[in-house]
Amino acid sequence: MDITILYYIVLPWFWKKSGELATNVGLNAENEIIHTLAFLAGVMVWSQITDLPFSLYSTFVIEAKHGFNKQTIWLFIRDMIKGILLSILFGPPIVAAIIIIVQNGGPYLAIYLWGFMFALSLLMMTIYPIVIAPLFNKFTPLPEGVLREKIEKLAASLNFPLKKLFVVDGSTRSSHSNAYMYGFFKNKRIVLYDTLIQQCSNEDEIVSVIAHELGHWKLSHTVYSFVAVQLLMFLQFGGYTLVRNSKELFESFGFEDQPVIIGLIIFQHTIIPVQHLLSFCLNLVSRAFEFQADAFAKNLGYAPQLRASLVKLQEENLSAMNTDPWYSAYHYSHPPLVERLSALEDSDSKKED
In the chain, % helix, strand, coil (3-state, to 5) comes to 75, 5, 20
122-134 per-residue burial string, b: 16 or more CB within 10 A, e: under 16: eeeeeeebeeeee
Would you say 290 is a known binding-site residue?
A: yes
Burial zone of 343 (CB within 10 Å; 0-12 exposed, 13-18 middle, 19+ buried): middle
Which of these is catalytic: 294, 316, 345, 353? 294
Pick from 222, 266, 231: which is nearest to 118 by CA?
Answer: 231
Who's near 26: CB < 8 A, 6+ residues apart?
none
157-191 per-residue burial string, b: 16 or more CB within 10 A, e: under 16: eeebebeebebbebbebbbbbbbebbbeeeebbbb
Calculate the CA 76 to chain-centre distance: 19
Cross-strand pairs, 174 = 69
**Separation in Å, CA 184 to CA 105, 113, 163, 223, 296:** 30, 23, 11, 11, 22
How many CB atoms are closer than 10 A to CB 60?
Answer: 15
What does residue 183 show for φ and ψ, rounded to 5 degrees?
120, 155
- Asked if residues 205 and 195 have their Cβ atoms less than 8 Å apart, the reply is no
Cross-strand pairs, 208 = none
Catalytic annotation present for 294: yes
Who's near 4: CB < 8 A, 6+ residues apart?
10
Which of these is catalytic: 32, 205, 213, 339? 213
* Helix residue ranges per DSSP H, 109-172: 109-127, 133-136, 146-157
**Any idea of the CA torsion for 327, 329, 334, 338, to the nearest 10 degrees?**
70
**Separation in Å, CA 272 to CA 55, 107, 162, 230, 252:** 24, 25, 40, 18, 17
Supply the residues annotated as catalytic: 213, 294
Annotated binding site for Zn(2+): 212, 216, 290
